[in-house]
A and B are shown apart, each in its own frame.
Chain A
Amino acid sequence: MKGKKKSAVVRYNRWGYIFLIPFMVVFVVFQLIPLVTTVYNSFFENFMSGLKQVGPNFIGFKNYIQLLTQGDLLKYFLNTMIMWILGFVPQIILSLLLGSWFTNPQLKLKFQRFFKTVIYLPNLIMASAFAMLFFTLFAKTGPINSILVGMGLFKEPYDFMAHVGSVRGLVAFMNCLMWFGNTTILLMAGMMGISDSLYEAAEVDGATPTQIFWKVTIPLLKPIFIYVVITSLIGGLQMFDVPQILTNGTGDPMRSSMTLIMYLNKHLYSKNFGLAGALSVLLLVLTAILSAIVFRVTAKDEVK
């Protein structure tokens, strides 16, 4: 069809470019130029020492060397990853479970609309307000401690904000709560795309629900599963609002919940543009590498 109407198509194609202009102009001005400036700044010494401005002086890769050898970059990276994994593992398990229940024609679950509405709700909540809410609820004098002590589970109020495990746990829990509904709905879309005849065939062959889940659903779900993992991983690297508000930007206790973006934010606020630039570039590279790894690992499976 395209071949037949080639002349008409060519005449109109000019408009294809015109319609691209707004996207491209905005992309160049607000993303590409800032990206180039960020990379450029990463090679300069440029910070405030008290009231005195130091730089900008070109120093090559020294910002990168300083970040990688002196700071706590690795620690913050691990913090970020630990909190992401703590939140993501329960999230993906829950989502697979709920997705397979919702789409199972045998189960015929009722109130599906209600459940879907409820599990998706936390995703739309302002993360900063949600973190502030958890901060007040889990405060030493807050309602959660009041409930737990009242029920006799705790002898005395537990200071959730003063322990590494509980702060990381709360961040992970909030992330899980905010994202499992979204993941469930995405996985469901994939599950519903799997033809019923495959399930029927498996049933006729005498497969158990567990076997059907692992041998039919999971392999066919792979593309959407990869998408979920990658987007969650990239989102995890960008973790900021929840730990920032929960710990008031300190990442306490002992900066054990300080994430990479919180670290970046700190440099941006203290106007240490050299280090902020280097950190941004490292984050960009990291994002690219991690997506590539996930792609490769899953592609290898496909060959088998």
Chain B
Amino acid sequence: MREEKTRNTVHARRAVAYIVLAIISFLCLFWFYVLFINATRSNGELGRGFTAIPSTHLIENLKNLMTGTLPVLRGLLNSLIVASLTAFLCTYFSTMTAYSIHAYDYAGRKVIFTFILTIMMIPTQVTALGFVKLVQGLHLEDNFIPLIVPSIAAPVTFFYLKQYMDSNLPGELIEAARIDGAGELRIFNTVALPLMRPAIAVQAIFTFVSSWNNYFTPSLILHADKSKTLPILIAQLRAADWLKFDMGQVYAMIAFSIFPVIIVYLVLSKNIVGGVSAGAVKG
């Protein structure tokens, strides 16, 4: 009897779970659906209110956007350059830092580890003033170096990789490579890095996305049209008198910034969702 009752409550709870999940999924996807629909409609059609069926003006909107006043293609290229290089440098050197703490046993190792965890708490914004002054002093405004190079010191990425390394890079392996006569840098590049590949891939994706999405820092140092990244162009679009805009183009611009990430995400989602929890925090 009790079995029966338990089974029924499980059924009921499962039903509730599915309903709530369906509603939440709807709330997550609805906005992007509307964005897609609206990006396919002309300004005139958009003025007549919302419909749920896509129209035929997507190509036209994109074409208008490319030939319009915002340097969209240049922005896309700039964003790609900054985000890719940031992802590469950040993951390579964070792995190196993690390797230093993991594989060696020198004086001050623990202190340095604690120190890196402490500076993890410092928000980038509180050093922005000094950062801008430094960039101005070095004449690096409108240059991508101040956006890319600082990612070498990324405590969060370091911490993730360190956690992963603790459970996936046995010391015996490093010892074996040493007995084979490999140099330390070579061991790092040919033994440690390949073993870390899954974790590095996850962190590369995250670093890429956060650099791609970053608005605060780039907006402080990129002023020339030719160096602007996509988030700055979005802000420019918002600051413009948007009612005078062709709304089809506005939606196309937003879609242009959002959908590439969504597509890449859907392709790689298995790695990403698994990766968030894999080494990030130990419960």
Contact = CB atoms under 8 A, between A and B. Distances in A.
A121 B150 CA distance: 27
B273 A117 contact: yes
Interface string A96-134: 011001000011110001111111111011111111111
Contacts of A45: none
Contacts of B270: 113
B230 A283 contact: no
Contacts of B231: 126, 128-129, 241
A146 B272 CA distance: 36
A153 interface: no
A86 interface: no
The majority secondary structure among interface residues of chain B is helix
B25 interface: yes
Given A19-B188, A136-B247, A280-B125, A37 B130 contact: yes
Contacts of A127: 213, 215
Interface of B: 9-10, 13-14, 17-18, 20-21, 24-25, 27-29, 31-32, 34-35, 38, 47, 49-50, 93-94, 96-97, 99-101, 103-106, 109, 112, 116, 119, 121-123, 125-134, 146, 149-150, 152-153, 158, 171, 175, 178, 184-185, 188, 209, 212-213, 215-216, 220, 230-231, 234-235, 237-239, 242, 247, 250-251, 254, 257-258, 261-262, 265-266, 269-270, 272-273, 276-278, 280-283
A224 to B, nearest CB: 5
A98 B18 contact: no
Contact of B96 (A22, A34, A265): A22
A141 B216 contact: no
A150 interface: yes
B159 to A, nearest CB: 11
Interface stretch (A24-32, A69-77, A296-304): A24-32
Contacts of B272: 120, 124
B281 A37 contact: no
A103 to B, nearest CB: 11
A171 interface: no
A41 interface: yes
Contact of B10 (A106, A128, A265): A106
A23 B152 contact: yes
Contacts of B273: 113, 116-117, 120, 185
A126 to B, nearest CB: 4
Contacts of B238: 131-132, 135, 245, 248
A35 B234 contact: no
A133 B146 CA distance: 29
Contacts of A234: 121, 123
Contacts of A220: 283
